[in-house]
């Protein structure tokens, strides 16, 4: 199953100031999430950014805020975005059946969000190179568990090329710097 630009939204989970420094490969996770936010903005794909307990973990890192454009930010205290009151309604209002999911920590908030969204009827795509945890072991176990549970595992470039669908267009030329 391919990710379809007209049928998808982007959800970036908890890439926050006080958590990011502890995340394994945090720079890669942030950079790939930024690439996806920038592509979503240029392709007019609805984007959402969650922030877990901002008072304790701080807001999103500056790079996420800068790339977010008109993405909708929301704070949560539940680990799963799908369990936070009002969030499922917010995502459903976008009228997109596919959710492209990035963020941290993949074995906690991303995993619980992914399974919550799947149970709520969304097709869920985890961007493996835009997710991580404090340890590589937790990241690997989460990816394996989600794959076994029916969640599709993709990469940043898979998402970008599937959103674009073809080369030689103005959109392709515009997004090419995000791919190179």
Catalytic pick among 25, 109, 129, 180: 109
Catalytic pick among 25, 76, 81, 95: 76
Q: How far apart are CA 80 and CA 115, in angstroms?
A: 9
Active site residue 109: yes
Using an 8 Å Cβ cutoff, are 178 and 160 in contact? Answer: yes
| Phi/psi of residue 96, nearest 5 degrees | -125, 120
Q: Report, as residue numbers or ranges, the catalytic residues.
A: 14, 76, 109
């Amino acid at each position: 199953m391919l990710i379809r630009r007209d049928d998808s939204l982007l959800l970036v989970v908890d890439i926050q100031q006080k958590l990011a420094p502890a995340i394994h490969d945090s720079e890669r996770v942030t950079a790939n999430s930024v690439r996806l936010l920038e592509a979503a903005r240029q392709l007019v794909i609805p984007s959402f950014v969650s922030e877990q307990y901002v008072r304790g973990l701080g807001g999103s890192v500056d790079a996420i805020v800068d790339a977010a454009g008109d993405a909708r930010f929301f704070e949560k205290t539940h680990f799963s975005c799908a369990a936070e009151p009002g969030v499922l309604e917010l995502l459903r209002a976008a009228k997109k059946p596919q959710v492209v999911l990035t963020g941290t920590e993949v074995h906690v908030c991303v995993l619980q969000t992914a399974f919550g969204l799947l149970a709520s009827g969304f097709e869920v795509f985890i961007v493996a190179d835009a997710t991580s945890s404090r340890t590589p072991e937790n990241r690997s176990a989460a990816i394996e568990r989600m794959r076994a549970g029916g969640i599709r595992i993709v990469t940043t470039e898979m998402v970008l090329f599937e959103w674009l669908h073809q080369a030689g267009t103005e959109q392709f030329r515009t997004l090419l710097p995000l791919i190179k």
